[in-house]
Structure 1
Amino acid sequence: MRDTPGPTTGDRFETDVPARLDRLPWSGFHWRVVVALGITWVLDGLEVTLVGSLAGAIHQSPSLALTSTQIGLTASAYLIGAVAGALGFGYLADRIGRRRLFFITLIVYMLSSVATGFAWDFWSFALFRALTGAGIGGEYAAVNSAIQELIPARYRGTTDLCVNGTFWGGAAIGAVVALVVLDPAIIDPEIGWRGAFVVGGALSLVVLLLRRHLPESPRWLMLHGKPEEAGRIVGEIERDVAASSGPLPPPSYGNVVLHKRGAASLGDIWATMFGTHRDRAVLGLVLMSCQAFFYNAVFFTYALVLTKFYGIPAHHIGWFMLPFALGNLAGPLLLGRFFDTIGRKPMITGTYALSGLLMAGTGLAFAAGWLTAWEQTAAWTVIFFFASAAASAAYLTVGESFPLEMRAMAIALFYAIGTAVGGVVGPTLFGWLIESGDRSHIMWGYLAAAALMLVAAATEWRLGFAAEGRSLEDVSAPLSAERPAGR
């Protein structure tokens, strides 16, 4: 095993860091990465599900008494915060490193979540939700980029989908917690919904401790002119893996030749996204926007549909949220490996298309009044089994589409645009449609969401690319592989 980079000449250097990372067998180190970084998704799922499950209690809260439209607006506030956080923290993650951002974004999330439990009116609740979203938006950029850079290429698709899918493990926990905190026989619902936010935020302290033992991404160090430090970290990882797995296999490809050039400028990002990789930019935008509208429109108003049209009491919503969450969790866990075996393009196309077709059928059945509350829940559970894998694959696609120097910013930018276009509009629109009390109006919202997923499926079939089993540097050559202008 070699702990040092290849030869260096002037601003040019050679490194074997990518090949050494990609050759590693799955090990305890990779499990630590997945747990320490992916557990944030569990906490996010816990909190977001609580908001959905607690919508009825917050609507009836004597201190807040939010209307259906205001609840939709607070969901939009959360997503607006996520957009701002993704852009700001994503920009920083490509400049100051993944590891520093892990801690900053998690602290923002933790403090804001706790503060939500002490909100006193609509505006304070919306503000704290926006700040919570900012922390989570930053997490999406830094964590997704780090996971892709640390996980071997042959496991990258499976791991990325499963990590993003664990959001729904937290959602399942949130559904169970909601059953407890909203049961008047156990606790006053006014205290229960507030305590749920406080406890959920406080759990982030455990994540902070887990992340203390994770290194900076060697690929980030490599691309920022620190090949020696990157090689040292990879050497430590190799020794850790070899101690448990035995002798390591030889690298399957050679060294990468790079030039020192620093972080990508906004001009570099613009030229790459809308010049060199224009098709990939269009693909990422369509996948992210369509799944964001599809998901957020349904999920953030889930409880309102059940209470308003099926007469389900607020403290029983958790029973209906639980199977929905488990279906979302099962999708990436069971389908994830096929994105590395069958391939990205057929799997992404198929999951988007199935989600859209099933949603169209369910929307028509809802408008006709053919479904009971449990049948509606079963239909949504099946739909989002496929939609969850599709949504996770959107993040995977964006991360793989662009050079390493701008990975976090690319994820942040497309998450922000997709969320702004599809996510912010969705909850507010559906909140307004639900308040109208007319099933046919809501049906048109469901059909619009279904149509967007079909558009996304067609776009993937036309513009999708094969990234399974390939190194990140092969899928999209680093900007540093080119000699900087003027040299």
Structure 2
Amino acid sequence: MPGHSAAAAKPTGAHDDATARTSSEIIDTDLPSRLDRLPWGRFHTLIVIALGVTWLLDGLEVTLAGAVASALKSSPALHMTNAEVGMAGSAYIAGAVLGALGFGWLTDRLGRRKLFFITLAVYLLATAATSFSWSFAAFIAFRFLTGAGIGGEYAAINSTIQEFTPARVRGWTDLTINGTFWVGAGIGAAGSLVLLDPHLLPADWGWRACFFIGAALALVILFMRAWIPESPRWLITHGEHEQAKKVVEDIEARFRETGHPIDDSPTHRLRLHARPYTPLSDVFNALFRVHLRRALVGLSLMTAQAFFYNAIFFTYALVLTDFYHVPGGRVGLYLLPFALGNFLGPILLGRLFDVIGRRKMIASTYAISGILLACSGYAFAQGWLTVTTQTIAWMVIFFFASAAASSAYLTVSETFPLEIRALAIAVFYAFGTALGGIIGPAFFGSLIDTHQRGAVFTGYLVGSALMIVGAVIAAVWGVDAERKSLEHVATPLSAVEDGG
């Protein structure tokens, strides 16, 4: 497949200078190789915590949207219908789509570090403002802006983490980080159980207090990110080779100071054209001509998982309240085992994506998720499930679906060239989410409003079919990116052939 190997890479001695200007326009460097050979250490753990919190915040927001659904319907200020609850979910996703595209473009142009501060600040202010919503229109607007911050975070954060993580553990690390979405979901569920208790807060105050949880977490994380450096991989493609060299040397020094041995085997060098930005013509050429097959794979996987997740998760509270008659204040209790299954999936299956391989594991998790949803949906339609067995069914389904969804983000973030990585993440997140995520919640909200189990089952079958189609596409056209450097998976656009 195009870009599968880095023709510009060549072995060199470990003690050669890391970066050297070979002409006025070309940089010769082994910095990416030096980042890939690092052992896992405290530096990587701190990166995961400070940046990976994005998924936690998204999990928190999505959970709150479902958990407070009943409270929003009874709120004196909002009086939302089931369809309007679904529309609010769609507004959040629409914001995430546009935020991903806009901030993703800026991330590749201005740098990873600047943008992961800006996007977190947008999220913080918007989610805090949501709690002051005085009407349905205001609530929709603030949910849209909250989504924009989260969408921008996905582009900036995914690219940064990928570029710092050693190649041999990139799959497991990425899936594990994505799994923290469900830590946020658990926090949201637990918080809603307390704050929606009418004995603690008035009914119209509880849901407002829930949205302050995310703002408080974001404020803490904003300060934690202060020590994170700019991605050396981004710096070298923008002519900042000396700064990139200093960042890598500082990271290596931290490892040596803590007694972590660094592999001294030969590294690989890259020769790159430094340029301040990548023209949009090069971006579209890379995405939709050179890497067209990869683009179709990424779009298929993102669309399937977005519909699967957003359609079901944004409306799970409506299913519990309308079909199983669970009180609105108790909805969060049933989410906790659901969140546990979702969290354990990437943690326990993640290693296999690096050992067995991307293609086999992606196809397997997508197919299993789709088949299980169809089976449980049929049981729901026949009235065979109780609220407990429905929760167990969701827990099992999303054990596999969580790993599948995480692998979609892994796929689009590691199979495209360095210079367009953030924008590629944004494009496929945006298009996949727009196709699957915006339509999904509103579609399912309308189906639930019919109060017919058969209608809801139809929605489950659509989600199941999309996942199975995604599995087939991954099996046939997926990229075997396991344990390979990002530059070998996709040659940088600025790479210079030997003698070039």
2:489 is the alignment partner of 1:475: yes
2:54, 2:157 within 8 Å by CA — same for their partners in 1? no
Give 1:7 shift. 4.5
Give 1:40 shift. 2.4
Give 1:47 shift. 2.1
Give 1:176 shift. 0.8
Task: Kindly report which structure 2 residues correspond to 1:308-323, keeping only aligned pairs within 5 A, or say none.
Answer: 308-323=322-337
2:456 is the alignment partner of 1:442: yes
Task: Kindly report which structure 2 residues correspond to 1:238-249, keeping only aligned pairs within 5 A, or say none.
Answer: 238-249=252-263
SS in 1 for 2:209: helix
Q: Which runs of 5+ in 2 are unaligned?
A: 1-14
Question: Partner of 1:259 in structure 2?
Answer: 273
Give 1:157 shift. 0.7
Question: Partner of 2:61 in structure 1?
Answer: 47
2:221 is the alignment partner of 1:207: yes
Which residue of 412, 420, 423 maps to 1:398? 412
Give 1:199 shift. 3.2
Give 1:202 shift. 2.5
Give 1:107 shift. 0.4
Runs of 4+ with deviation above 6 angstroms: none
Task: Kindly report which structure 2 residues correspond to 1:185-204, keeping only aligned pairs within 5 A, or say none.
Answer: 185-204=199-218
SS in 1 for 2:28: strand
Give 1:253 shift. 3.6
Which residue of 452, 475, 484 maps to 2:466? 452
2:343 is the alignment partner of 1:329: yes
Counterpart-to-counterpart distance in 2, 1:245 and 1:258: 33
Question: Partner of 2:11 in structure 1?
Answer: none
Question: Partner of 1:183 in structure 2?
Answer: 197
Question: Partner of 1:233 in structure 2?
Answer: 247
Counterpart-to-counterpart distance in 2, 1:102 and 1:304: 34
Question: Partner of 1:422 in structure 2?
Answer: 436
Which residue of 57, 77, 81 maps to 1:67? 81
2:460 is the alignment partner of 1:411: no
Counterpart-to-counterpart distance in 2, 1:246 and 1:115: 45
Counterpart-to-counterpart distance in 1, 2:428 and 2:142: 24
Show CA shifts across 1:381-402 (max 9, x none).
1101100111011011001111
Question: Partner of 1:27 in structure 2?
Answer: 41
Give 1:326 shift. 1.0
Give 1:168 shift. 0.5
Query: CA separation of 1:201/1:2 partners in 2, compared to 1, >3 Å: closer, same or farther?
Result: farther
Query: CA separation of 1:263/1:185 partners in 2, compared to 1, >3 Å: closer, same or farther?
Result: same
Counterpart-to-counterpart distance in 1, 2:18 and 2:149: 36
> Aligned letter for 1:80?
A
> Aligned letter for 2:103?
F
Number of positions where the alignment pairs a residue of Structure 1 with one of Structure 2: 484
1:81, 1:137 within 8 Å by CA — same for their partners in 2? yes
Deviates more, 1:125-134 or 1:237-246: 237-246
1:27, 1:245 within 8 Å by CA — same for their partners in 2? no
1:85, 1:136 within 8 Å by CA — same for their partners in 2? yes
Counterpart-to-counterpart distance in 1, 2:101 and 2:16: 37
Show CA shifts across 1:151-181 (max 9, x none).
1101111111111110100101111111101
Q: Which runs of 5+ in 1 are unaligned?
A: none
2:310 is the alignment partner of 1:300: no
Show CA shifts across 1:40-76 (max 9, x none).
2212212221111111111111221100000000100
Counterpart-to-counterpart distance in 1, 2:453 and 2:165: 46
Counterpart-to-counterpart distance in 2, 1:456 and 1:18: 32
Which residue of 77, 91, 94 maps to 2:105? 91
2:91, 2:143 within 8 Å by CA — same for their partners in 1? yes
Give 1:190 shift. 1.5
Show CA shifts across 1:206-265 (max 9, x none).
001100000000000011111111111000000001211333112454111111233222
Deviates more, 1:248-257 or 1:121-130: 248-257
Which residue of 152, 158, 161 maps to 1:147? 161
Question: Partner of 1:14 in structure 2?
Answer: 28
Question: Partner of 2:398 in structure 1?
Answer: 384
1:181, 1:189 within 8 Å by CA — same for their partners in 2? no
Counterpart-to-counterpart distance in 2, 1:391 and 1:123: 31
2:366, 2:470 within 8 Å by CA — same for their partners in 1? yes
1:23, 1:252 within 8 Å by CA — same for their partners in 2? no
Identity percentage over the alignment?
56
Show CA shifts across 1:3-30 (max 9, x none).
7413422312210101110110000100
Question: Partner of 1:366 in structure 2?
Answer: 380
Question: Partner of 1:221 in structure 2?
Answer: 235
Counterpart-to-counterpart distance in 1, 2:275 and 2:110: 15
2:271, 2:496 within 8 Å by CA — same for their partners in 1? no
Which residue of 25, 46, 51 maps to 1:37? 51
SS in 1 for 2:87: helix
2:320, 2:387 within 8 Å by CA — same for their partners in 1? yes
Counterpart-to-counterpart distance in 1, 2:397 and 2:320: 17
Which residue of 109, 118, 121 maps to 1:104? 118
TM-score computed with the length of structure 1 as normaliser: 0.97
Question: Partner of 1:113 in structure 2?
Answer: 127
SS in 1 for 2:251: helix
Show CA shifts across 1:79-112 (max 9, x none).
0000010000000000100000011000000000
Query: CA separation of 1:361/1:103 partners in 2, compared to 1, >3 Å: closer, same or farther?
Result: same
2:236, 2:244 within 8 Å by CA — same for their partners in 1? yes
SS in 2 for 1:336: helix
SS in 2 for 1:481: coil
SS in 2 for 1:46: helix
> Aligned letter for 1:421?
L
Question: Partner of 1:137 in structure 2?
Answer: 151
Counterpart-to-counterpart distance in 2, 1:172 and 1:384: 14
SS in 2 for 1:245: coil
2:62, 2:313 within 8 Å by CA — same for their partners in 1? no
